Amino acid sequence: MKVITLFVFVFFSLTAKSQTAKDYIVLLTADLKQSWRLDSITMNSNYTELKKEMVVLFKLNNRAVIFYGSLQKADTIAWFLEKKEKYALLTLGEIGRYEIDFLQRNNVRYMRLRNEIPLQKNINITEYFFLPSNDKLPGKSKII
C-alpha cells in the first residue's frame, strides 16, 4: 500500500500544473467581454451578502461593477484576487472574501464563490453559482 501511495503521490506531483492568479484573472475578467450573473446558491442558504440575479463585471483595474435586478442600479466596488497554495481567494470590496473556482458540468461553464472552508464542521458554507452573462449592460461602453 505504501508503494502505491508513493507512486500516486509522485505521479500527481509530476503531472500537476500549478495555476497562477493570472489564470484566474483571465477567466474572471474575460477581457471585459463577459460579466457574471448570480444564478443560484446552495440549498438551505439565504441571499444575504450577494443578491440573486446580480450581474458583476470585473474590470482589469480591480474595480467591479455590480448591477442589481433591473440593471438600472449599479455599484462599483474593489476586487482583489489572491492565489493561495491550495485555492484562490476573491475579495469583493466590503462584501466578503470567497474561494473562487471555475467549473464545468454538463457542458455548462460557471464560476463558484464560496465562503472559506473552516475547520469546524458545524459552520455552514454557502456556495454562489455565477453563469456567464451576455446581457447588454446599460452604459457598458461608458463603464469600460
* Chain contacts with other proteins (rule: CB under 8 A): 1, 4-5, 8-9, 12, 15-17, 19, 23-24, 27, 86, 101-106, 109, 117-119, 121, 125
Strands 88-92 and 96-105, how do they pair? antiparallel
Q: Name the residue nearer to other proteins (CB basis): 60 or 103.
A: 103
Cell 476573491 belongs to 90
* Residue 89, helix vs strand vs coil: strand
Which residue number, 68 or 102, has a Cβ lying nearer to other proteins? 102
- Closest approach, Cβ 138 to other proteins, in A, equals 30
Say if CB 64 and CB 56 are below 8 A apart. yes
Compare residues 25 and 137 and give the one whose CB is closer to other proteins.
25
Who's near 82: CB < 8 A, 6+ residues apart? 21, 88, 89, 91
Shortest distance (Å) from residue 107 CB to other proteins: 11
